[in-house]
Structure 1
């Protein structure tokens, strides 16, 4: 706990000694499998640009046209003067794509999750969350002032027991559709059944499933053939598979109107630039029509998992672009990351508190822009990791 400004430096030193210190890298190139980081050419496997759209020429051109039409900034919050025609049409297109009556744009996924929970919950209500949920869901639950309850990862029996104990107030179950550090998919079908039985809302943060899973990339909810009745609250981000920036919440007219009226992180935030909305509209069209991108991802993931098995590399159970290799200690994860960097491959070391103690890891992610040759190079370098020290 930091008690004064004088304690800042010792705390920073403590983090360094514990191998928990974080440092930013400077990119001098667009997002893509190959780029220039800190002045050095690298092969990257740590971006969330799953479909390879962040540097797509059609998306770039749409952003340029948007800037020419609307300028560089939005000027104000959506409820003041910042809600442009570009924002409005994008919301309509996101609603149509997700099969929901309405959608509402937020500046980030973090702000969307905080906004939903603060608007819908308060003292006397209850929120239930998986222990491996993203920090934004956890913080949203805590800041809502509702009774905050967590259960062991993917333990549906524990969730069922907790829901059975719910007696008063509103109840909301918040979950990641795809867990960002493990890559596994939440059992949404079972969760939807439990929520219906307990008269609880189910909210799915589909940051890492939207664009990747489901028909035309509609996400994890679509993968389970669930609709508005089963999952009344969907949050999706636009800075990962879609390749731009921002987030949205999709649901009923009543939900969206409630968020417009009560979500503080929506009301009191300047809208994202309209040019970003125009870029997102172009990217969303590519998400829907370029099925080959999802097919290539599947092929690359299959190639990697087969190759990892052949070289004895232990992987977690994941069919998504997120393929973690658990190192255990933060020191070992950093050592592996630096070893890979020395071979020209960038993969970040993920350490506590992002992941639980004892599960520090390399978080490998794939993009449709990668090639089979990229994967072969990755496997070649990974085969030299000192696994015996993990």
Structure 2
């Protein structure tokens, strides 16, 4: 009832003339903004952790677009990870507000809000809790534009949710469900690796013309710290980044796994193995060209992610690269991933893909 009332109020506010002047980038305009801002990322900024970078991005989104709303369980007082701290106090509880404990309702409300040309930023408290909203995401949000023949869409919907290992989460607070949504045409899936990336990618997601699921690596909320530009900037979606160049083997990952893979690259280098490391950033649609170019150079590929190996997104990358680079591959594609079990509690160190597991796989693949 509270959500329905809020939705009606938002609908009435649509006719207000203030919204006719809002600054919202179309896909084309967004690309121009990204081009103009790309050089500015070299500026030194403020040292922030990933949680604070997310908070800063949400501040900017609410400040620059009066049709942006942030909502979810407990977000008005900062959320369980404190990513929304201070938003309700600054922008008011009509734009930043708590919802009932109902993920299907949260996403359903977000679809309706976005369908009325608003920027709906929904928070699912843990990625493990997203499954009750699966039908709304897969059968409604993803198909909204298609089924209406492009007359209507909910492209302003962004679903933020923390995913992955946290050290003590167990099987209900540590899952990485990104592969479920990568199977669905009509939505984008984005996973940042660091504070600077998180801010720029989140702002791009919020301003994108498609519904997006933005998975935030909760393990890095306070562990990852780097210089983050304080101004408003966007990073391109569906554009992978080669964060370390090499010649012997290509490594591909995303999110929290990138820091583990980078450590493995350093260890492999001590043994004379040159690793090229790629951050995919956007899983759907993913940057096949960058990965293909790297594999054509190195002849070998290793993929790593926290989700279980069977049916994980690493399998899609592997299949695509085999199709494109079959005659260039010098070894089978390696996958170092989570195990095909529920995420364990005390046995988490055995479940997650560690640096040593990746180093062993690098050696095995290079020496194949």
- TM class by smaller structure: 0.3 to 0.5
Query: Higher relative CO (CA 8 A, sep ≥ 6), structure 1 or 2?
Result: 1
TM-score in terms of structure 1 length? 0.34
